[in-house]
Chains A and B, each alone.
Chain A
């Protein structure tokens, strides 16, 4: 079935360091891809998304490009801040005719940024 694999954490970085969180997926067809972020004690918030190959999603300095050839959607940020400390989930919506397909999540990657 459809699945998402993320790099395991925790990831600890110093402020202003470059961030990469790897995400690869297994799915038939052309799934939509998402990154969600979960801050401590809070719910899941959409960070960015891409719905077709070569699309780049971006938000708050984070970017991810939908790579069909490598089935990847790696999250990157050029300069992290302490406030970026959170758990990041890569997710996909499998290709289906209906528009109400549940998200499939990766295991999550905990990021800690230290000053």
Chain B
């Protein structure tokens, strides 16, 4: 079965650079979530999209932005990167029509800021 695809799997950037993370949800899923997981931490919700519109907003810094495109894939854009942005970034997708259904997670993108 198709899963959530994230790219790239690993990314190394320097401080003050920008990064773009991509997420391809499971086919027919209409909701995408982005989470940030620091070393040894629990995943922190950043932002979500339902039918290409922002649905919920969590602890996403102003330096970050995201969008969902017409094909339902989503991109997380990160600017003015800081050392503290080094983390594992997960994308998840779900089908909103099924209330309280679980989210399916991708393998994550490991971002290292040096």
Contact = CB atoms under 8 A, between A and B. Distances in A.
B42 A102 contact: no
Contact of B105 (A44, A49, A98, A107): A44
Contacts of A45: 105
Q: How large is the interface on B (under 10, 10 to 19, 20 to 34, 35 or more residues)?
A: 20 to 34
A32 B108 CA distance: 24
Nearest to B34: A102
Interface residues of A, number: 23
B90 interface: yes
Contacts of B105: 36, 43-45
A105 B33 CA distance: 14
A100 B68 CA distance: 15
Interface string A30-48: 0010101000001111100
A111 interface: no
Given A32-B100, A44-B105, A45-B105, A100 B50 contact: yes
A89 interface: yes
Contact of A93 (B42, B48, B55, B100): B100
B90 A43 contact: yes
Given A44-B43, A89-B42, A101 B102 contact: no
Nearest to B51: A100
A18 B102 CA distance: 27
Contact of B102 (A42, A46, A104): A46
Given A103-B43, A108-B41, 20 more contacts: A36-B105, A43-B90, A43-B106, A43-B108, A44-B92, A49-B102, A89-B42, A93-B100, A98-B50, A98-B55, A98-B99, A99-B94, A99-B98, A99-B100, A100-B56, A101-B56, A101-B100, A102-B58, A104-B45, A108-B42
Interface of B: 30-31, 33, 41-43, 45, 48, 50, 55-56, 58, 90, 92, 94-108
Which 10 A-B residue pairings sit nearest by Cβ, starting from the closest? A100-B96, A99-B99, A32-B100, A100-B31, A99-B96, A44-B105, A105-B42, A43-B107, A43-B105, A102-B45
